């Protein structure tokens, strides 16, 4: 398998070339086009319970699994929002945590699970927000809202990131979740109004735009809303 990312930035699109027998799974609706040599089916990664977990997090139950069964073929994939696509190679030595809308696709050997993250002590009696846990060996394709920027933390270095700007981080990094400081007003639904405090060594991927903030800005221009 090989791939190419077109139109990096706001309107990224992913092209994946599969040899016969190879497959890739993507979020429902991610497929733009595919060769006639490729079959597409809905699949529940990890079984029914994981599928139910995805539904509870606000995601779709199924993935799209695309397999080259009649020779080589090409697939075009795209995320639903305006933004970038980033490829991450996993060697199986660590898990990758991704904000719940950040998974676009993955090669065979990649496992996707939805997890509830507990909040900091004293915040809403232990409620949390959902993230995607990715493990295994292969290539993961992440999508963002806006451009993707890497924050590299040296050993012991710390950074605080608004939850709405998070894209992904390695599971071996130290991090904690807390409510946003005064002035960062938002709803606590699905983790909005929260910040994550990371401690290096490691790389945290962030997105240049916040979907919730954009939604609140857009509401001002909808007729009939105060």
- Report CA dihedral (221, 193, 60, 174) to the nearest 10 degrees: 140
User: Would you place residue 22 in the very low, low, confident or very high pLDDT band (cuts 50, 70, 90)?
Assistant: very high
Ordered by start, the domain boundaries in the chain are 2-219
Q: Which fold has domain 2-219?
A: Double-stranded beta-helix (3.60.160)
CB 66 within 8 Å of CB 30 = no
**Per-residue pLDDT tens over the stretch 203-226:** 999 999 887 777 777 777 888 755
**Per-residue pLDDT tens over the stretch 137-195:** 999 999 999 899 999 999 999 999 988 899 999 999 988 877 665 443 343 344 456 78
CA 76 to CA 99: how far, in whole Å? 23
Q: Please report the pLDDT score of residue 184 as a whole number.
A: 38
Mean pLDDT in residue range 34-41: 95
Q: Which residue has the tokens 């009696």?
A: 125
Residue 190: count of CB within 10 angstroms of its CB: 18
CA 98 to CA 171: how far, in whole Å? 10
Give the bridge partners for 34, in sequence order.
75
CA 171 to CA 55: how far, in whole Å? 23
151: its two tokens:
């924050």
User: Would you place residue 81 in the very low, low, confident or very high pLDDT band (cuts 50, 70, 90)?
Assistant: confident
CA 18 to CA 7: how far, in whole Å? 21
Q: Which residues of 31-47 are buried (b: 16+ CB within 10 A; e: fewer)?
A: beebbeebeeeeeebee
User: Would you place residue 122 in the very low, low, confident or very high pLDDT band (cuts 50, 70, 90)?
Assistant: very low
Residues counted in the chain: 226
Q: Please report the pLDDT score of residue 188 as a whole number.
A: 39
CA 56 to CA 74: how far, in whole Å? 33
């Amino acid at each position: 398998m090989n791939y190419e990312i077109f139109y990096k930035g706001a309107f990224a699109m992913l092209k994946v070339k599969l040899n016969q027998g190879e497959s890739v799974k993507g979020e429902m609706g991610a497929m733009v086009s595919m060769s006639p040599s490729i079959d597409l089916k809905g699949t529940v990664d990890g079984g029914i319970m994981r599928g139910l977990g995805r539904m509870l997090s606000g995601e779709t139950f199924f993935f799209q699994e695309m397999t080259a069964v009649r020779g080589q073929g090409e697939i075009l994939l795209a995320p639903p929002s305006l933004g970038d696509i980033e490829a991450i190679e996993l060697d199986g030595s660590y898990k990758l945590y991704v904000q719940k809308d950040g998974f676009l696709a993955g090669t065979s050997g990649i496992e996707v699970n939805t997890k509830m993250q507990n909040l900091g002590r004293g915040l809403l009696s232990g409620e949390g927000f959902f993230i995607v846990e990715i493990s295994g060996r292969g290539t993961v394709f992440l999508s963002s809202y806006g451009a993707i920027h890497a924050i590299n933390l040296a050993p012991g270095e710390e950074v605080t990131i608004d939850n709405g700007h998070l894209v992904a981080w390695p599971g071996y990094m130290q991090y904690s979740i807390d409510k946003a400081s005064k002035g960062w007003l938002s709803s606590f639904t699905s983790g909005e109004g929260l910040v994550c405090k990371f401690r290096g060594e490691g790389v945290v991927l962030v997105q240049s735009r916040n979907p919730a903030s954009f939604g609140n800005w857009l509401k001002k221009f909808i007729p009939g809303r105060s």
